[in-house]
Amino acid sequence: MNWAATETKHMQFALEQAARSAARGEVPVGAVVVAEDNVVAAAHNRSVSDADPAGHAEVLALRAAAGKLGNHRLTNATLYVTREPCVMCVGAIAQARVGRVVFGAYDKKAGALGSVEDLTASRALNHRFEVNGGLLAEECGALLKDFFASRR
Which are the catalytic amino acids? 58
Residue 69 CB-half CA count within 13 A? 22
For the chain, the residue count is 152
The alpha-helical segments, DSSP class H, found in the chain are 3-23, 57-69, 87-96, 137-150
